[in-house]
Chain A
Amino acid sequence: MRTLLTNGHVIDPANGVNRVADLHIADGKIERLDFEGSGRRVGGDDEIIDATGLLVCPGLIDMHVHLREPGQSAKETIATGTRAAAAGGFTSVVCMPNTAPPADNASTIAWIKERAAREAVVNVFPTGAITKGLAGEELTPIGAMYHAGIVALTDDGHCVQNHEVMRRALEYARMFGLPALDHCQDYNLVGKGVMHEGYWSAVLGLPGWPSAGEEAIVMRDILLAELCQTPIHCQHLSSAGSVRLVREARARGVPITAEVCPHHIALTDESLRGFDTNFKMNPPLRAERDVEALIAGVADGTITILCSDHAPHCDYEKEVEFDCAPFGIVGLETELGLFLDILVHKKRAIDAAKLVEMFTLNPARLLRLDRGTLSPGAPADITLIDASLEWTVDKAAFASQSRNTPFHGMTLRGRAVRTIVAGKTIWALQ
């Protein structure tokens, strides 16, 4: 099977490519790039895809996704979650271990991989819990999970509070080259907080979740990453102070990285004034100055990875009193549009090539995945993007099983139009 993607604007940050070229795919692998002029037929192509006017990128990777299996299939399944990923332009997802039961042992990891092999339409890379039952106390069988195929350790949704436990986990993980992904939340400082602590929490009478509750753990992670020399990746950064801490630490060469989610740069805490639980996130939506700092952190390379924190919940779980509702929103099908719209078009914080790098090369490097590049011989995971296409978010059209989004009805500029995994088109915009 040979496929030719002709006349697209190829962006392959791993190889410094950013120009119009033809891309040849053979038997599920990248064969070569042809810069000699568009549309030259070598002959023998089974499929020719005209990519004129489109960006041709390595398949995008979302390294922060909740697929909810095993155990929470009312919210999402590996089948529906990976279809949502495909519809959002993603060829790989990294799934979080806070399932029921948690992915804190090798057999659950094996179950996820086996399930994904049968039902997923994109690559699924599982992570394993740092501590048993995500309880923050005892180490999981990290070595066994590594051999079962995890790409990182994380207690996401929870946060190891005991610094000594975290330190030993990091030291142990270093044997396997596994990074830790940390949901930075100090339980004492955050308490029962459900929204950013500031003017709006004062007005609404909702318990505040102060920025310091994130920053205290970001600081802890910087100290431990330095001590153990194990890479720590701070998940879903939300505050200006966190950006500043990570910036300073990276300048000193500490092995620390950070990601940002679209909602934290698209919305502020004022959105909660109507008590709509689709604006309830953890960490919470923060103030305008935090949004600006996050965007600046993307622009200056402090934040190197973009992701969704795709967190599906059933409508009946979200449609309750504000403080009773679960945290989180779905994101796979809106994130590329939001990031393109805000970071590339409106704020001009980065260009499209940088955005692609943050979705491909950077997560692939951190997690040591053989993805995120168009190098000859690499798996032919490719995303075609129309960076200027205007479209309107319609939650009824989501492939995800859940609809908990605050972005319904929003018009965005830019989206994926075709998703190719191992040489095969698995989704295309109708």
Chain B
Amino acid sequence: MSPAVIAAAWLGLGLVASAVLRRRTARLVAVVPMVGAGLTLLAARSATTAVPLGGLSGISGLDRAGQGLLVAAGISMALVILLQPSIDVSIGRTIGVVGAAATIAMASSDPLITALALTAAIATMVLRWIGQSPGRATLAAGRVAGTGTAALVAASPFLPLTGFTTGDRPAVVAALLATGVAALLAIYPLGGWAAGIIGSLKPMEVAPWLVLLVPVVLLIAERVPGGVLGDGSPIFEHVLLVVGLGSAVWSGIWAARGPAPMRYGRVFMADVALCIAAVEGAVASPALTGALIIVVTHLCIAPILLRSEGAGLLWPRRVAWALLSGVPPSPTFWGRLLLLEALAAGNVGSTIAAVLAMALIFIASVMACSGRAAVIDGEGWRGRLPELAAWLLLAVGIAIGLAPQSLTRFVFGS
């Protein structure tokens, strides 16, 4: 199965779903990510270019890690839709474009194609966000994330750096790549634009960025090999380390003392910032495994915690927060432990910052667990279905905590 076919399926189904479905059948939008995930299962890495684009290296296919990530993200996105109390069918269009762009970005081995796919995803989301809630926060998403994709696009003509591993060219390329990754993951400026959209939009509107795009960008950033950047490698690594840790601490503080509806978004941003800081800033190998465990955990519990607090699922939410707390045997314990191990191999400053961020995430999780919200649970078997689905997801989360490396190997192949 060619990645282009998978992307076309995402895009086509997304457009059809938003045009055909009505309010009563809105939940069928979940078919878009489910079919996308199903088709991605059939994808295989081919030696030849799947989609030739002239002299460009083009779209070569999905590797095992990319395939696993896209399948997990697709299933998670479908569950986010199914567990929402209400759905606006026009979100299908955004989900379709973002899913297609994520597939292309992950399958491409050319920096220009990857950057343009990410540009398409961000442009689609920003258009929707500004349409839904015009304001300073949504416009900031367009400004900052748009600048990030522009930086990635600008880096493409300078790559590869064969023969130019010293001097200003690798430094400029590294700065552009670091800007792009930091802006897309919202770790610059300290989670600013993402915090704004999480605060001003419904969780469902943020889900395509949070579930489909962030894990893909994280994995793409990990694939920027230090050796290729030459003299620019320290710039890329150190910028992401410092900005990532700063953003993790800042998001941790706001997760602990900010409003409850934004708490999950802040914890997610803190975790992503820790992952990118450790994966790029620490040369030790445990960082990637830790980051993958954390990503899978978030994909597992995002459908529960992206549901508004007053819409039921009181106990599943509490268990989900417990899984995020970092207390063993929660999966985040193992993930953060591996990140800490990698960061500790670097310097003591980054270790202290990471421990501080993790402590703040723990405090935020405890506060979320102990919170009492007035919730109305559904009556009858139809009302109980979301609860059943939530408990099944939590069972998967607990299984990840009990066998973290086996499950990440099952999903990512390594």
Instruction: Determine if chain A interacts with chain B.
Output: no
